[in-house]
Structure 1
């Protein structure tokens, strides 16, 4: 089963699952998990090939949804759990809702649509794989060495959260992520036999207003799978909206959950 980090105590309120995106981990969401756990239990996971979860050769969304279903069967609520997924985690969460709707009470998708994207994160993987870890004694060494290939300091800081300096290794299965990149940025044309129809429960698509990951052109595809989808965006925010505007992001989550009497 995926590595899970549980924050807060179980209460009468429905628990909340957080699913990180590509190159992320449960740890990245620690502050938000703590703040969201004031009145309910929060479950964050390390996805396969990330953090301290298991390594596998496949990164299909069907497989990732199966991983999440296994977690919810152990830690979720009998009547379904509120699920939040960002980017890759958003796609995995969408597939979870479509293939295991009984496990999901409501779905929040952060800055991603159920479509295939043309961009690739392969250059970031190439840079991480090329990093000479023998020259890294502290995180700032790695940051300096990556700067030529990854000029954005914020992106470097995010990636370096997955570097264990003392062990000189990445908490990312970089080669599998590179091999499976077309599937990660894609979205399957055939959703598989486990998907028998649209997810007809409440779904909230929250995007960064400055991000190009969620476009109006995606609405038809989104609505066909999630007919109850509602859309909102955070102003002056990009793809990593939860990191750029954490308080505003938390406020949006809290407002969504307040719709429920659980």
Structure 2
């Protein structure tokens, strides 16, 4: 009862504890972490501020904003959709209901691409979504001294709304990425030194069993890999050779049990030097191959 009274007064520690309990009851796995992150978003109280004075009292309007944010998270709206942002490769990316929320797993794909990136390479990112892969490659490559004097990177997506989000992100971060409205290679012209992609790869029958945050709030089109989850890998393997220069690379994020199938698709399409990369959890995450015409 005392803790409830303290929360009503706006005391930080009581507010966070009450919020964490509410989120835990709603099935949020990282309830206390989300409660703290929402406090920073809604009230501007950083972790350092909280640690220095957990007994400080918030103004009523900030308490109200915090409660509203917690209610949204308890309804299983993703934290990133509430804050409108997700960090990826050290950069802040705007996210919304039109794009897949960037995940740490995908950083493995970017790291593999950076290892192969060389100055003046021409790069295409398929199914770009928020633009996080293409923008990160450009920005980090630039920091590493791999300059791109002749042209920017290209990034394509079938969703016009996703491209609008990617455009905002690239503009805000200063990433020179040309965005193309295309169903995979449909409107892609020319050849590239590298093609990267994190395509939809969830089996259609599995989607209904995913967490509510994913199933109800990530765009279905960014999840659906058709019946076996391999539809887009087949298309990319079959068509990528027509858009790669000799010795060009294709790098694909894959599901944890899809590496062998995707490797086979690339081999059958004429790719060599096929190799995989595991993520930090030790799961297969990237398949890559070189194309020799």
Q: TM-score range by the shorter chain?
A: 0.3 to 0.5
TM-score, normalised with respect to structure 1: 0.37
Looking at both structures, which has the greater relative contact order when contacts are Cα pairs under 8 Å and sequence separation is at least 6? 1
Larger Rg belongs to = 2
